[in-house]
Structure 1
Amino acid sequence: MASRLLSAVVFFGLSLSALNAQYRSNPDSVFENSAFKPGEWLKFRVHYGIFNASYATLHLTSETLGNTQVYHVVGSGKTTGLASVFFKVDDQYESYFGKADGRPYRFIRKIDEGGYTRDVEINFDYSQNKALYHDKKKEKKMQFDIAYSIQDLISAFYYLRNAYEASDLVEGEDLELDVLFDDDGIFTFRLKYLGIETLKTKFGKVECLKFRPVVQSGRVFKEEESLSLWVSNDKNKIPIRIQADLLVGSIKADLEAYNSLKNQFKIILD
Structure 2
Amino acid sequence: MHTRFNVAIVGLMSAMLSSSVALAQESKAAFGPGEQSLYRVQYLGVTAGTAQITVGAPMKQWGEQVWPIVSLAKSDPVIGVWPIKDKFVSYWNDAAQRSLGSDFFVDENNKRRRQRVQLKEAGRVAHVVRQREGAAPTEATHELPEGSMDLASATFALRNRGIADGQEYTYPVFTGSKSFMLRATVDGRQRMKTALGEREVFRVKLQTQFSEKLQARRDIIAYFTTDPSHVPVRVEADLALGSIVAELAEYKQGRLMAMND
Same structural fold, with TM-score higher than 0.5 when normalized by the shorter chain: yes
Q: Secondary structure at the match of 1:220?
A: helix
> CA 1:9/1:121 → structure 2, altered by over 3 Å: closer, same or farther?
closer
Partner of 1:233: 226
Task: Describe the superposition over 1:158-183 as per-residue Cα deviations: whole angstroms up to 9, x where unpaired.
Answer: 122111342xx42xx64311012212
Q: Does the C-alpha gap of structure 1 residues 190 and 116 become closer, same or farther in structure 2, counting only changes over 3 Å?
A: farther
| Distance of 2:160 and 2:123 partners within structure 1 | 26
* Residues 20 and 122, structure 2, Cα contact 8 Å, conserved in 1: no
Matching residue within 207, 214, 217 for 1:214: 207
Percent identity over paired residues? 21
User: C-alpha displacement at 1:156, in angstroms?
Assistant: 2.2
Structure 2 length as normaliser, TM-score?
0.83
Residue 60 of structure 1 and its aligned partner are, at CA, apart by 0.7
Counterparts of 2:3 and 2:249, CA distance in 1: 22
| Cα distance in 1 between the residues matched to 2:241 and 2:163 | 36
- CA change 1:217–1:126 in 2 (3 A) is closer
Aligned 8 A contact 1:3 1:87 in 2: no
1:60-75 equivalent positions in 2, closer than 5 A: 60-61=55-56, 62-75=58-71
Residue in structure 1 matched with residue 37 of structure 2 by the alignment? 42
- Residue 253 in 1 paired to residue 246 in 2? yes
Residue among 69, 83, 99 paired with 1:104:
99
- 1:35 Cα shift? 0.9
Deviation at 1:203, TM superposition (A): 3.4
AA at the equivalent of 2:224 = V
CA RMSD of aligned residues (A): 2.9
Cα deviations by residue, 1:109-164 (Å, 9 ceiling, x for unpaired):
12233366541101122289532111123622111224542212222221221113
Match of 1:157 in 2: 155
| Aligned residue number for residue 86 of structure 1 | 81
Shift of 1:5: 7.2
How many residues were matched structurally?
Answer: 252
Residue type at the aligned position of 1:64: K
Match of 1:10 in 2: 9
Q: TM-score, normalised by structure 1?
A: 0.80
**What 5-or-longer segments of structure 1 have no aligned partner?**
264-270
Quote the Cα distance in structure 1 between the aligned partners of 2:239 and 2:211: 9
Which residue matches 2:125?
130
Q: Which residue pairs with 1:266 in the alignment?
A: none
Maintained 8 Å contact 1:236/1:262: no
In structure 2, what is the Cα distance between the partners aligned to 1:5 and 1:71? 24
Report the Cα offset of residue 67 of structure 1. 3.7
Aligned partner of residue 158 in structure 2, secondary structure: helix
C-alpha separation between the residues in 1 aligned to 2:210 and 2:117?
A: 28
Deviation, 1:211, is 1.2
Does the 8 Å contact 1:71/1:99 carry over to 2?
yes
Distance 1:225 1:68, change over 3 A: same
Greater length-normalized contact order (CA 8 Å, ≥ 6 residues apart): 2
SS of residue paired to 1:236: coil
Aligned to 1:141: 139
Residue 88 and residue 246 in structure 1: after superposition, are their counterparts in 2 closer, same or farther (change >3 A)? same
Q: Please give the per-residue CA displacement for 1:184-210, whole angstroms capped at 9, x wherever unaligned.
A: 3x2211222211121112432111111
